[in-house]
Amino acid sequence: MDGKVTNTVADAVDYKGFPVERSKTGGWLPAALILGIEICERLSTMGIAVNLVTYLDGTMHLPSSTSANIVTDFMGTSFLLCFLGGFLADSFLGRYKTIAIFASVQALGTGMLAMSTKLPQLRPPPCNTNGAIQNCKQANGFQMGILYLSLYIIALGTGGLKSSVSGFGTDQFDEKDDRERAHMAYFFNRFFFFITTGTLMAVTVLVYIQDGVGRSVAYGICSISMIIAILIFLSGTKRYRYKKSLGSPIVHIFQVIVASMRKKKLDFPSSIGLFFENYPEATRIRHTDQFSCLDKAAVVTEGDFGKNGSSDPNPWKLCSVTQVEEVKMMVRLLPVWATTIIFWTTYAQLITFSVEQASTMERSIGNFQIPAGSLTVFFVGAILITLAVYDRLIMPIWKRWKGKEGFTSLQRIAIGLILSTLGMAAAAIAELKRLSVVRAVNGNTSTLPLSVFILIPQFFLVGSGEAFIYTGQLDFFITQSPKGMKTMSTGLFLTTISLGFFFSSFLVSVVKRVTLSHDRQGWLADNINNGRLDLFYWLLAVLSFINLGAYLVCTLWYKPQTSSKAVQMESVGNGSLAEEKC
């Protein structure tokens, strides 16, 4: 690092708004207090999601397709609301208040869910069985209304806090200090390791409590654990480093767009130094040639400043170079954002069709029968193993060989996309084998004479892919976004998960409609033994491969932004700027 490290952190304040002392604030202890919130969030959200279908089907007596859609919509909405949470944190509340408020909202939601599963008035009566006929009454509108209200309060809490937790955690490390910057690189891996641990607890311990003790007890544990995590989080108030909110990032983006459109017919100045800039030298961002049409927003014209000799420009008419470059930074994120959505579409298959595959196969180990839903343990285990190997083996080797702290964020994302493509190919091969056994026995047995462990490769490959792509996306969207938009940028990243779930639902609907005929049930039949799920997996593998190619093109195009102590004063030949049009 250039220069001497001071005892204060330049761009951070303490809980009273005063400059923070480096030795008394930030670091791993405050970051660990923040991680507790995320562990409990993952415990609640995943603990509910992985076993909610059985409650909707077995207790609320809903059709299986309706139950699956409720779960998918719940998960998709949870991650989609992360964008809202990021916007509120960056614009108004700050990350600390956003986490505290929305963690409380999630605790309230899980408490309501515990109540709705406990009170008999909030669920239909058990099915009546008369001989071979079973008469089941579906949940009424009021009962479903309470359930929906509970779920979507939880989704609101998840979306509100999730985009702020990682950003507030990285706020505890100073990027300008070499030692703390190295700690930040490890933070991303440890962050994902801990939330994966929460997922592991959810799909094992919490699911066992739901089935063996009671759902109300399990959901009550989620609510109480979140309350405890909030208290622990609040205990670190005096130790945290806080970054000041720089105003609404959405407004800033629209100001640049509007100002540039107003001046689209103007000529560029002969020198970059003639562009408007009012940011302090230490916080300015160097001008780039990409998306030069946006540079028109920084061209000074008569009437840009207020009346009576005011030195402050009208932000809807004139923006600084740094403001323009911040918008360019967000635009550069979009191609990477778009090409990572397909990964989460493949991820969605592991908690839907892969579980359905497992339900038809031999799952016994001695006298113990593995529940079909518990196959996700192999997925979570793959994530933990991959993170441990990367953290303890790959990163040290890479540092000695290349002198860098592991793979770059874009390299990790590429590895994740490659592994997910291979995972879908492995899933197709395993399904082809399963269907051959179905044909061999002519469907005469409910459990096929085929070990469920042939599904492990698809769980392991996609799970390992998530370990790389999640940490890579998190690192990329936080470090490559403007300082004032980091939380919103994290929310943008989390919307890829949401859109992956929604695109999975859309793709399933399209494939089912296109492949259905009068004499065949299509690729995605109601009974997978009568369908061609292997072809659907091959379709996903092909789409993933094409998407990988598009992603690699985007990484070659991507130009990371760098800050500078002063805007680079350079003349451009022939009196015009080099242009890359929007």
Give the model confidence (pLDDT) of 43-84 as tens digits.
888 888 777 877 887 788 887 556 767 877 888 888 888 878
Is the same domain home to 273 and 228?
A: no
Q: Is the pLDDT score of 101 beyond 90?
A: yes
Least confident of 130-144, 162-176, 222-236: 130-144
Counted domains in the chain: 2
Domain finish residue from 244, 263, 296 = 244
On whether both 110 and 26 belong to a single domain, the answer is: yes
For residues 277 and 228, state if they share a domain.
Answer: no
CA nearest 240: which of 187, 173, 182?
A: 173
Helix axes 376-389, 178-201, angle to 10 degrees: 160
Q: Are residues 119 and 220 in the same domain?
A: yes
In a domain, 408, yes or no: no
224 and 286 both lie in a single domain: no
Same domain (yes/no): 240, 224: yes
> Rounded mean pLDDT of the chain?
81
For tokens 């399963």, the residue is 434
Tell me: do 237 and 307 sit in the same domain.
Answer: no
272 in a structural domain: yes
- Please indicate, yes or no, if residue 40 is contained in any of the structural domains: yes
CATH label of the domain that carries residue 88: 1.20.1250.20
**Is 507 a member of any domain?**
no
Q: Report the percent of the chain where pLDDT is more than 90.
A: 19
Residues 230 and 263 in one domain: no
> pLDDT at residue 4 above 70?
no
Whether 151 and 257 map to the same domain: the answer is: no
CA distances from residue 384 to 31, 208, 418, 423, 448 in whole angstroms, order as listed: 20, 21, 19, 17, 31
Task: Answer whether 411's CB lies under 8 Å from 404's CB.
Answer: no
Domain that holds residue 265: 249-329+564-575
Confidence of residue 428 (pLDDT cuts 50, 70, 90): very high
Q: What is the pLDDT of residue 429?
A: 94
Long-range contacts (CB closer than 8 Å, 24 or more residues apart) made by 178-181: 178/1, 180/26, 180/27
DSSP, collapsed to helix, strand or coil, labels residue 13 as strand
Q: What is the pLDDT of residues 303-320, one digit of tens each?
A: 777 666 567 788 888 888
Q: Does 512 reside within a domain? A: no
Residue at a domain's end among 223, 244, 265: 244
Q: Which residue did the predictor score with more confidence, 502 or 351?
A: 502
Among 92-106, 113-127, 439-453, name the one with the lowest average pLDDT.
Answer: 439-453
Choose one of 214, 244, 274: the last residue of a domain: 244
| 568 in a structural domain | yes
Q: Nearest-CA neighbor of 453 among 419, 426, 489, 484?
A: 426
Which pLDDT score is estimated for 348?
82
- Report which of residues 481 and 260 the model is more confident about: 260
**253 and 239 in one domain?**
no
506 found inside a domain: no
pTM of the model: 0.74
**Digit-coded pLDDT (tens) for 443-456:** 666 788 888 889 99
Q: Report the Cα–Cα distance between both ends of the chain, in Å, rounded.
A: 35
Question: What local confidence, expressed as pLDDT, does residue 1 receive?
Answer: 43
Both 55 and 158 in one domain: the answer is yes
Same domain membership, residue 203 and residue 91: yes
